[in-house]
Amino acid sequence: MNIALTDEALQWFKNEMEVVTGDTIRFYARYGGSSPFHEGFSLGMTREEPLEIGVQTVIDGVIYYIDEKDLWFFNDYNLHIDVDKQLYELKYDYLK
């Protein structure tokens, strides 16, 4: 599995979360909502120091990662992060 971010998503993180080199952004399974795989769970995101990185992507010195304990949520799919151009919010796709 891997994490991919579009240029628009990278810009969103710079604009909205003011990420800079050395920051770490965690994607995690959270209780509530729904996802394509698990009813009652959705994808969350936060700025947080890593515990046990399961998968990561480093772009411009920023680490985007998923902890080992949250890999179950993705069912071996890749996480693709883009921006919804109308709402200007992150959009997540799960791709093989």
Report the CATH number that the domain containing residue 55 is assigned in CATH: 2.60.300.12
- Has this prediction a pTM greater than 0.85? yes
77-90 tens-digit pLDDT: 999 999 999 999 99
Instruction: Give the C-alpha separation, 83 to 6, whole Å.
Output: 8
Note down the domain range covering 74.
Answer: 3-95
Residue indicated by tokens 């998503």: 9
Spatial contact of 77 and 2, defined as CB atoms under 8 Å apart: no
- Lowest-confidence range among 7-11, 40-44, 58-62, 91-95? 40-44
Q: Return the amino acid letter for 73.
A: F
**Number of domains composing the chain:** 1
